[in-house]
Each structure stands twice: as structure tokens, then as C-alpha cells.
Amino acid sequence: MPPGQARKIKVMRIIARMNVGGPAVQVSGLMRGFDAQVFEQELVTGYCAADEADYLEKVATDVKAIRIDGLGRSIKPRADLTALFAIIKEIRRFKPEVIHTHTAKAGVVGRIASILSGHRSVRVHTFHGHLLNGYFGTGKTKLVILVEKFLALFTDQLLAVGAKVRDDLLAVGIGNQNKFDIMAPGLQLAEVPSRSSARQKLGLSDDAIYCAFIGRITQIKRPDRFLDVVAEIKARGIDLHFIVAGAGDFLQYCQDRAKAENLPVTFLGWREDIEVILAAADFVLLTSDNEGTPLSLIQAGMVGIPVVATNVGSTNEIVINGETGLLTDLSIKELTDSVAKVATDSALRAKMGAAGKEYTLARYGAARLVKDHQDLYLKLTRK
């Protein structure tokens, strides 16, 4: 323990739900990696929806959490109010020095609970993305901005997973430069199998070229755009196969359309072994309208395969256009042209993959993420 520290620093993490995805990976890494001699941590979270996989049940089975009814994806006033009072009660019981909220809904409910609890805590909130584009209409978006502006006044430290996310938030008046910092994701992959063994495990051809689409199959990820690209690649006569690892409310639509149009797509469902997916793939495709800092692109880089992605959110902080992958606008033509270019040039894939591995391993390691958070908490609690 540092000199003069009488007891451990208590940290409460609040996240709406631990569905399989970037925020859950980050939070689990922090829960596992912190120095238990200096910090005592508690994770507070809700339940996943029926069409979501729970990361705590599927992958991070060693991470313990306090479950709060109502603290899930959906906004339901009565359930949200129940969750609010439950969190207030837990704050008063645990008495944390630091309350760190993750994701939008938990950021609102958790910070309001912290204020109403009467317990003095340092408040930290991480924007793993934002809701300014692609989620709501103009009226609801203005309301989101107003709520976030208000809560920023009562938050000691605001964190964004990338510079683009931070700059977007600052541009609409949420927080200020003095309160904001960048906290890039940090990852540690499990052992990556050989390409041959990965393909054998997934039942894929050893000789084909595969492009992977990884993540939630929801509107913001634009799976319809992904299938438009697949259809265009097929129309151009390019021999490329696609694999989809993920699930969500648009999965059935995608499966039905792929079958109706006889598209070369294999649906793998939710997968916990992301390393196997990436080892089997030749490159990754992201077609989203909006992103924070997508972990699948970092993971692709760490494995050593290139990326084709829409230039949204902080993707351009992970992918160096022309060096580790290709970034495009939202048009089907530009996406298809880029996919075709990578699919038909093995030398380009090898060159971009090697560059991506060097870049991502240096910037996005798990140990760096843990250290940066520990240092931040020590600084904030010693002010």
C-alpha cells in the first residue's frame, strides 16, 4: 500500500448491462487487473435482454457482480426508478471513494444515485461512444444533450474512448476540456490458433477467402448495408465468403435475406472465442453508422489481419487508412470497392496485417488500461 494510505480505495463500477461487446470487455479487464492490495472494487450491473448474450455468464465467469433489476437496456420509468433507489442503497452500504459509471443509461442513473445518496464520492464517467448520431430523432437527441450537460457539472472526470468521441461531445457543450481525457481501450487476447485449426473448428473451407462481420446485429451496425456489400461483391463475380459472428434484433432479417438472395454468408451466432473467428478470417468488415472505439477492429489488428470500415466515431484512431486497413464513407460503392481491393490482393492483406499488429499491440494493451485507471483514481482521491 502507498505510504500514508490507511485503507484500500473503494471503487464502485456501474454499467447498465454486461452484454457481449466492448464495454463489458473493458470493465471485466479492470475488475480482474486492479491491484487488490490498494483497491477494493464492486461491480453493479443489470440484466441483458433476451436477444443478448451476457458476458458475465458466457466469458467472464470469474467476475462477480451485484445485479440490479431495471438497470438494463430499455428505458422504463418505473423500473429505472426502482434501479435508482437500489443503487442509492448500495452506495450507502459500500461507501465508495470512487463511483465510475460506464455507458449512457448507467451514466445517468448511476450519477443521479451518487448525488442523491448523500455519500461523498469522486465521480467518473466513461463515454464508450455516444448517442448523438443514429439512435434518436432530433427532439430526443436534444434531451440527451441537456441531461449530459447537467450531469457533467457533477462529474469530476469525463473519459472518452477516443478523440472523435470526446470532440463530438465537447462540440455540443457536454463537459469542458479540463474535465475530459482520452482513455483508449486495452485488451489482452487469448491464445490465437492457427488459421487451419480455426477454420476446421468453424467448419470453414481451408482454401477460401473469408471476410468477417463481428458484433451486435442491430440497426446502428447497419447489417443491411453489410448485406448490400455482400450482394454487390457476388454480382461482381468476386470469389469471397463472409462469416457473421454476433446476434441481435436484426439477425433474423439478415438470415432471411441471405437465404432469399443466396448470398455467401455463414452465420455463427454469438461466439465467445473471438480469437478463433479472427484467426479464420482474412480481414474484417465494419459497416456502422456510428461507433465509439470498436474493439473488434483492435482485436483484428492484434491478430494481424486488415480492416475495411466506415470512417465513423474513432475508427480512424484504430485503423490507419491505407496502412493497416481501408476507411470509407457510408456508400455501398466505396465499401464494395475497398472490400474487393483487399479480397483480391494477398500481398496487400499481409502488409496491412503486419502493420496493424505492430500498431495495435503498442497502443491498446490491457496492462496500460489498468495502470491508467489506477493512476487516475489515485490522483483524484488525493486532491
- For residue range 8-42, list pLDDT tens digits in order: 999 999 999 998 877 898 899 999 999 999 999 99
CB atoms within 10 A of CB 89: 13
- pLDDT (average), residues 125-136: 76
pLDDT at position 235 is 98
Nearest of 17, 16, 20 to residue 248 by alpha carbon: 20
Domains 9-186+366-381 and 195-363 share a fold: yes
- pLDDT (average), residues 357-371: 91
CATH of 195-363, one of 3.30.9.10, 3.20.20.150, 3.30.70.141, 3.40.50.2000: 3.40.50.2000
CA 305 to chain CA centroid, nearest Å: 19
Residue 153 confidence class, pLDDT cut points 50, 70, 90: very high
Residue 135 confidence class, pLDDT cut points 50, 70, 90: low
Nearest of 356, 363, 328, 372 to residue 126 by alpha carbon: 372
Instruction: Report the SS3 class of residue 309.
Output: strand
Examine the pLDDT at 4 and tell me if it is beyond 80.
no
Q: DSSP readout, 218-254?
A: SGGG-HHHHHHHHHHHHHTT---EEEEE--STTHHHH
pLDDT at position 239 is 97
Phi, psi at residue 239, to the nearest 5°?
Answer: -80, 85
Compute the chain's Rg from CA coordinates.
21
236-260 confidence digits (pLDDT tens):
999 999 999 998 899 999 999 999 9
DSSP secondary structure code for residue 134 in this structure: S
The full set of domain ranges for the chain reads 9-186+366-381, 195-363
Phi, psi at residue 21, to the nearest 5°?
Answer: 165, 180
> Domain 9-186+366-381 is in which class?
alpha beta
In this structure, are strands 9-15 and 307-310 parallel, antiparallel, or unpaired?
unpaired
Examine the pLDDT at 137 and tell me if it is beyond 90.
no
Examine the pLDDT at 130 and tell me if it is beyond 80.
no
Q: Which of 112-116, 129-133, 225-229 has the lowest mean pLDDT?
A: 129-133
Quote the crossing angle between the two packed helices 77-94 and 104-117, to the nearest 10°.
50
C-alpha cell belonging to residue 95: 461507501
CA distance to 64, 233, 307, per residue, from 360 (Å): 29, 29, 12
C-alpha cell belonging to residue 235: 454480382
68-124 confidence digits (pLDDT tens):
998 877 778 888 999 999 999 999 999 999 999 998 899 999 999 999 999 999 999
Alpha helices in the chain (DSSP H): 22-33, 55-58, 77-94, 104-117, 138-152, 163-171, 195-202, 223-235, 251-260, 274-280, 295-303, 315-318, 332-343, 346-363, 366-381
DSSP secondary structure code for residue 19 in this structure: B
Distance from C-alpha of 80 to C-alpha of 106, rounded to nearest angstrom: 10
Query: Which distant-in-sequence residues (6+ apart) come within 8 Å of 75 by Cβ?
Result: 105
Q: Which of 103-107, 149-153, 341-345 has the lowest mean pLDDT?
A: 103-107
302 near 319, Cβ under 8 Å? no
Question: Please, what's the largest Cα pairwise distance for the chain?
Answer: 69
213 DSSP β-pair partners: 244
Nearest of 166, 173, 163, 165 to residue 142 by alpha carbon: 173
- The H or E element containing residue 126 is strand 122-127
User: For residues 26, 32, 36 and 41, what is the CA-based torsion angle, rounded to 10 degrees?
Assistant: 60
Average pLDDT of every residue of the chain: 92
Q: Percentage of residues in the chain with pLDDT exceeding 70?
A: 97
8 near 39, Cβ under 8 Å? yes
